[in-house]
Homo-oligomer: A and B are copies of this chain.
Amino acid sequence: MTTAEAFQRARRPEQKLQRQDAILGAARDLARRDGVRNVSLADIAARIGIHKSALLRYFETREQIFLELTAEAWRDWARALHAGLDGAPPGSAALVADVFAPAFADRPLFCDLIAHTPLNLERNVSPEAVRHYKLTSLGVVDEAAALVARVLPALTLAEAREFVATLASLAGSLWQIANPALALAELYASDPALAQACVDLAPRLRRTAEILLAGLKAAGGQGQSNCRAQPGPEPDPDRR
């Protein structure tokens, strides 16, 4: 479904899904090639061979397309965690770090999308789309936290969630630093004084994961802070 003739307006539900998948695929390919920030709605439309207005029959905005890709990327990332940790015997923080670091570092698009999520959430996306995305991302973080808490029973679920959320946030920001534009990379490589500007993502994330897990084990038991005032009941940190 990548030509104008083929991309006729969907009339049946399964056709609509096909059109949406084609759009997501085009956005995914372009973002991998050029970086999330450099992909416009017009780029996506041009890649499929349709006009922007046709594309907007299937998605609210460019940002909603990227939120959908991010939700999908979270789910794919979760599968990698399950593959690495489902059968794991309890006790090894090194194993958790060994699984989490490449789960991010092998998914550059996911890291790029994480970094752009605050921006994408704020631009012209409906409350429904925000809720749908957030419930997905929070649900996957919970799922990942449960895996970690099972492998490292010394941590509470809340501490495991803190680990996952912090590492994910870092993966996003460190990926950007680790993947500068070519001219910038050449500058860093040419000047020893700038060597510390370089970041190698996978070993850095692995080390930071180990440090966070060791720190949570040592400093644990003091709970975490979200909002000063939370609506609804207090979440139970040991809820499983």
Contact = CB atoms under 8 A, between A and B. Distances in A.
A223 to B, nearest CB: 9
Nearest to A193: B135
Interface stretch (A52-60, A66-74, A171-179): A171-179
B122 A195 contact: no
A169 B174 CA distance: 7
A131 B196 contact: no
Q: What 8 A-B pairs are tightest by C-beta distance, nearest first? A: A215-B215, A192-B232, A211-B215, A198-B227, A203-B225, A118-B176, A214-B215, A214-B218
Interface of A: 37, 115, 118-119, 121-122, 127, 130-131, 134-135, 138, 141, 161-162, 166, 169-170, 172-174, 176-177, 180-181, 183-184, 187-200, 203-204, 207-208, 210-219, 222, 224-228, 230-233, 235
24 contacts: A37-B119, A115-B173, A118-B173, A118-B176, A118-B180, A131-B193, A135-B193, A138-B197, A166-B208, A169-B170, A170-B173, A173-B173, A192-B231, A192-B232, A196-B226, A196-B235, A199-B227, A200-B226, A204-B224, A207-B222, A211-B212, A211-B216, A215-B216, A215-B218
